[in-house]
A and B are shown apart, each in its own frame.
Chain A
Amino acid sequence: MNRPSMSTRTTVFGTAVLALSTLTACASAPQDASGSGTATASAAGAYTWWDPYPQHDAGSAWAERVGSCGQQAGVTIQRTAYDTTALTNQALLAGQEGNAPDVILLDNPAVSTLADAGMLSAMSDFGLDASRFDKNLIAAGELDGKTYGIPIGANTLALYYNKKILDEAGVDPASIKDWASLTAALKKVKAAGKKPITFAGIGTEEGSFQFLPWLWGAGAQLTQLDSPQAAEALELWNSWLKDGLAPNSVIGNSQNTSWEEFLTGEFAFGENGTWQINSAAKAGFPTGIVQIPAKDGGAAPTPTGGEFITVPVQKDTKRYDATKKILECMTTPEGLVETGTTFAYYIPSTAEGQEAILAKEPTLQPWVEAVRTAKGRTSDNLGTDYPKISEAMWTGVQKALSGAASPADALKEAQAQAKQATGD
């Protein structure tokens, strides 16, 4: 009578102890590890670094470059790479938990979002001079008069062309000065039996990014999507689709897909970015670039892309000293050139850095010019409103291109949507 009950009791007790011990084991294991390993490492200076470049693994030139900047600052850098959109969410979560990394490289529209969340420390807070960076580039890192990040380089858009097709069609790329001459060139290509142009009109940020040069080139503003100028820009894209100058697939094209289309060698023009320079050089045909023209001539302002180096707020403010050194290391003229070439290609964000990279690679001249006339997407103090306006805009672009609405009506709806989303 007693024995079995005793034994059940022991079993219960045993199970409970076992369960508890496994629980505590689970809970304490990482603490133990950090007690003996990570904590001492951080005492010796382990700094965490997040960036959106998973394509560059631990053995890559980029990882080495990050590591060497850490070494110069006297710390070891633990680098983690995330996908661009995942990075913003991870950063928000880390901010919520209060264990944000020391440095995050953020896609530039995300800077104002995280700065507005109170997660980032301003550059002036730890004495970093931001004045030497190009005004148009650093604007995306500014919010309410403070600078929350500095560009480690910039990329932007231009029109790549396939020289072979243009020669065959008798088009001189230098003749492309405004929208009329561009459309004329496209028609010539079509008459020669080739496909004129491809771009990315996908319903994501990439679609907005690609549409912006035309929107700004028409003289329209992001704050007024239903202006007649904006309608003209969308009408241009729309007419290309209607006249068969651009394939219908552009509606779903990401920039990568659009680039693959261009690489087939069947397209005369492809709207794409600095990051394809290497790929273009390796294409099976000679390529070149022209600036995206504004409606009435001149280069259209193109949106800047590229990452900003930001410093999340830390409880332990002593950490900022080494962080500052890391940031300086990443942004010296030589550092910017090195980042630029490591990244195939990133245009340095200071005048000095641009001179330096041009001395090394004179062919980058048109890209440097494009970056100088480029404009931040969150500039004009749009800040955190930009993502909402952008969503309305790409939806409008998609509506018009897919024929669900006329360009003017699609943009009217877009403006209403943007207005509602930004609460004005």
Chain B
Amino acid sequence: MTSLHTVTAEVGGAAHAAPPRRRARRWTALAFLTPLIVYLLAFYAYPLYRNIDLSVHDYTPRAFVQGDPEFTGLDNYLDILSDDAFLDALGNTALFTLGSIAVQYALGLALAVFFHRSFPLSAVLRAMFLVPWLLPLIVSASTWSWMLNSENGIVNAALQAFGIGQINWLTSPDTSLLAVTVANIWLGVPFNLVILYAGLQNIPADLYEAAGLDGANAWQRFRRITFPLLRPVSAITLLLGLIYTLKVVDIIWIMTRGGPADASTTLAIWSYREAFGTGQPDFSPAAAVGNLLILIAFVAGLVHVRLQRREETA
């Protein structure tokens, strides 16, 4: 009897102090969360930690194998920042990234507005603009480098037809960065087109109708309706474009190897070359350059969040 009493008392007490249901729910939540947390730790936190670890040690191939790298603190970063190549690479990165996203965005927006007015075959045409996205990068980058070949490229052949002499697109330090930027713009337009087109779909049609009744012309409608209402979508497009473009390695690597003589070397190419591009891997400086890139992208993300918050409060 007494035991039964205590049991009921306990059950009642437990129900009062901390509802088992809620506690159970917390455990359920945790159980569902675990795979995600494990995934994040294994595939995000650890690589990031490892990258930082690589960058503050001196990992020569020997140290890499033996596991006894010398701790060098911020020396790798200082070496990179004081390297003559750093400012060049930073400048190239800025030109490549900003040039790419500005033109990609402008072209993407123009095309999105163009396709927004549905016309016969517009869907087919729009689909064809996605081709650059579907091609494997090795294919499109190789095609670009053939097209821009100094001697036998189709671009120079076309220019020669107009009496313009040979331009060494990929092999002159004056034009190689421009050449890879153009190729990258071509690659990035579909992404901008798709996102901005989706953004346009969300602008209510009656706004345009009302503006039309008020006598607004096409430019005014774009300027006063489309552009302002597209601002949040534009911001995220530009931010994603920035992050994607900062870390572009493949297209530049395939087309110029960052050359001639570092003329198209961006920070990402520099990092890749240190780690994998020479006969002897230099993981530590490569990781340091990589971390600087992450930092730049992170700052851009912060600015975006800041701007967004200000817009929301305003």
Residues of A within 8 A of B (CB): 1, 4-5, 8-9, 11-12, 15-16, 19, 85, 88-89, 92, 95-96, 107, 109-110, 113-114, 116-119, 202-205, 247-249, 251-252, 384, 386-388, 390-391, 395-396, 398-399, 401-405, 410
Minimum distance in angstroms from A191 CB to a CB of chain B: 19
The answer to whether A96 and B64 have CB atoms under 8 Å apart is: yes
The answer to whether B32 and A15 have CB atoms under 8 Å apart is: yes
Among residues 157 to 184 in chain B, which have CB atoms less than 8 Å away from a CB atom of chain A?
A: 166, 168, 170-173
Closest 8 CB pairs of A and B: A387-B279, A402-B260, A387-B280, A399-B261, A251-B171, A203-B259, A95-B65, A398-B261
B62 sits at the interface (CB 8 A): yes
The answer to whether B279 and A109 have CB atoms under 8 Å apart is: yes
The answer to whether B21 and A19 have CB atoms under 8 Å apart is: no
Compute how far the CA of A405 lies from the CA of B34 in the bound complex, rounded to whole angstroms.
58
The answer to whether A12 and B35 have CB atoms under 8 Å apart is: no
The answer to whether B259 and A252 have CB atoms under 8 Å apart is: yes
Number of B interface residues in the complex (CB < 8 A) = 43
The answer to whether B151 and A249 have CB atoms under 8 Å apart is: yes
12 further A-B contacts with Cβ under 8 Å, apart from A5-B20, A248-B168, are A15-B32, A19-B35, A92-B64, A117-B62, A203-B256, A249-B150, A249-B152, A384-B61, A387-B278, A402-B173, A402-B259, A403-B172
Chain B residues contacting A8 (CB-CB under 8 Å) are 21, 24-25, 28
The answer to whether B263 and A402 have CB atoms under 8 Å apart is: yes
The answer to whether B261 and A252 have CB atoms under 8 Å apart is: no
Q: Point out the residue from B15, B20, B65, B257 that lies within 8 Å of A202, measured CB to CB.
A: B257
The answer to whether A118 and B65 have CB atoms under 8 Å apart is: yes
Chain B residues contacting A388 (CB-CB under 8 Å) are 278, 280
Minimum distance in angstroms from A211 CB to a CB of chain B: 14
Interface centre among B31, B171, B262, B279 (most CB of A within 10 A): B279
The answer to whether A15 and B259 have CB atoms under 8 Å apart is: no
The answer to whether B172 and A114 have CB atoms under 8 Å apart is: no
Chain B residues contacting A11 (CB-CB under 8 Å) are 28
| Given A15-B32, A402-B173: A9 in contact with B279 (beta carbons within 8 A) | no
Compute how far the CA of A117 lies from the CA of B65 in the bound complex, rounded to whole angstroms.
6
Residues of B within 8 A of A (CB): 15, 20-21, 24-25, 27-28, 31-32, 34-35, 60-62, 64-67, 145, 149-152, 166, 168, 170-173, 256-263, 276-281
The answer to whether A9 and B259 have CB atoms under 8 Å apart is: no
The answer to whether B278 and A96 have CB atoms under 8 Å apart is: no
Chain B residues contacting A384 (CB-CB under 8 Å) are 61, 280
**Which residue from chain A places its CB closest to the CB of B176 in the assembled complex?**
A402
**Which residue from chain B places its CB closest to the CB of A8 in the assembled complex?**
B24
Compute how far the CA of A391 lies from the CA of B273 in the bound complex, rounded to whole angstroms.
10
The answer to whether B261 and A404 have CB atoms under 8 Å apart is: yes
The answer to whether A251 and B31 have CB atoms under 8 Å apart is: no
Chain B residues contacting A395 (CB-CB under 8 Å) are 259, 261-262
Chain A residues contacting B24 (CB-CB under 8 Å) are 5, 8-9, 12
Minimum distance in angstroms from A314 CB to a CB of chain B: 14
The answer to whether B34 and A248 have CB atoms under 8 Å apart is: no
Interface of A is mostly: helix
Chain A residues contacting B27 (CB-CB under 8 Å) are 9, 12
Compute how far the CA of A15 lies from the CA of B31 in the bound complex, rounded to whole angstroms.
7
Chain B residues contacting A110 (CB-CB under 8 Å) are 279
Compute how far the CA of A172 lies from the CA of B6 in the bound complex, rounded to whole angstroms.
112
| Given A5-B24, A12-B27, A395-B262: A248 in contact with B279 (beta carbons within 8 A) | no
Compute how far the CA of A9 lies from the CA of B22 in the bound complex, rounded to whole angstroms.
11
The answer to whether B260 and A92 have CB atoms under 8 Å apart is: no
Chain B residues contacting A402 (CB-CB under 8 Å) are 168, 171-173, 259-261, 263
Compute how far the CA of A4 lies from the CA of B28 in the bound complex, rounded to whole angstroms.
13
Chain B residues contacting A405 (CB-CB under 8 Å) are 261
The answer to whether A96 and B65 have CB atoms under 8 Å apart is: yes
Minimum distance in angstroms from B256 CB to a CB of chain A: 7
Chain B residues contacting A9 (CB-CB under 8 Å) are 24, 27
Chain B residues contacting A252 (CB-CB under 8 Å) are 145, 170-171, 256-257, 259-260
The answer to whether A117 and B64 have CB atoms under 8 Å apart is: yes
Minimum distance in angstroms from A10 CB to a CB of chain B: 10
Interface centre among A205, A387, A410 (most CB of B within 10 A): A387
The answer to whether A205 and B278 have CB atoms under 8 Å apart is: yes
The answer to whether B31 and A19 have CB atoms under 8 Å apart is: yes
Compute how far the CA of A183 lies from the CA of B47 in the bound complex, rounded to whole angstroms.
54
Compute how far the CA of A387 lies from the CA of B172 in the bound complex, rounded to whole angstroms.
25
Chain A residues contacting B31 (CB-CB under 8 Å) are 12, 15-16, 19
Compute how far the CA of A110 lies from the CA of B277 in the bound complex, rounded to whole angstroms.
13
Q: Point out the residue from B62, B260, B277 that lies within 8 Å of A399, measured CB to CB.
A: B260
